[in-house]
Amino acid sequence: MKNFGIAIHGGAGTIRPSLMTPEKEAAYKKGLNDALTAGHQILKSGGTSLDAVEAAVISLENCPLFNAGRGSVFTNTGKHEMDASIMRGDSLEAGACAGVSGVKNPVTLARTIMEKSEHVLLCNKGAEEFAQQSGIQFEPETYFHDDFRYNQWQEALKEGVIQLDHSEGKKFGTVGAVALDLAGNLAAATSTGGMTNKKWGRIGDSPIPGSGTYANNNTCAISCTGHGEFFIRAVVAYDISCLMEYKGVSLEEACRIVVNDKLVKFGGEGGLIAIDKQGNISLPFNSEGMYRGHISNNDSAIIRIYGDN
């Protein structure tokens, strides 16, 4: 039997049961399950890994609980600047957007950039202009307004700091998906609203192929969530693929080396989701928790939030 599977994440960081009400925990798990189901339905019906990761990330972008799409945090000027990327493992084609406002689903814009332009990464007003010309759906600012996010921003403004998604400890707000389809093709996608109160058009690792997102049919597909500056410097997603391709280590071992050794040594916190060409899945993180879930073949969905197995 040919293996297929999907894994998703909704961010990592200081995520403890003591910071979560039962109602909020149930809501997060429903959001993760909805995204997993959206992607898995495509895979089990013979659809592509590319369609599956886009569908899963769209579901997460549409859920205001996650810092991407509708749930994106506020910048220093009270706007929403979103980043996303997508990559296919068969051709190594990739598309990405950075610093876009008003786009309902940045992951769809990233895919359109990959498929309909001659470029990999478009940013700011140029990316928005391309999106409009391509018929990408936009929403008004009110669509992206969330009282919880607004209060985070007000608190950050008062303290004059840049915050990582929420004030009760650190949370690296990003969403992502990786998948292997029945044809043996891998794909990965990542989307984020960035950091609360961010200035100067700051961009993290999410829209950068090789740092926050990577897919290669010879090795694996990766989507990262963490302190983006560290993930950029460590070229995390590509590093895992390289360890597998050039040193012959397993997906699990490559993830351990990068997430729990290399990143930790120079202060990088966060995690990632990964799937290899055999369908093995790894979800490592060096923070206290990570919103995550996965389904292999037609097994039941497994969803976790805290630092449990």
Please list the active-site residues.
174
Query: Tokens 């995550």 appear where?
Result: 292
CA–CA dist 209, 144 (Å, integer)? 26
* Residue 84, CB-side half-sphere exposure with 13 Å CA sphere: 33
Structure tokens given for 261: 């050794």
Ramachandran quadrant class, 51 (left: phi over 0; alpha: psi -120 to 50; beta: rest): alpha
SS3 letters across 2-39: CCCEEEEEEEEECCCHHHCCHHHHHHHHHHHHHHHHHH
Query: Tokens 């068969």 appear where?
Result: 90
Q: How far is CA 218 from CA 215, 224, 240, in A?
A: 9, 19, 12
Q: Is 21 exposed, middle or buried (0-12, 13-18, 19+ CB in 10 A)?
A: exposed
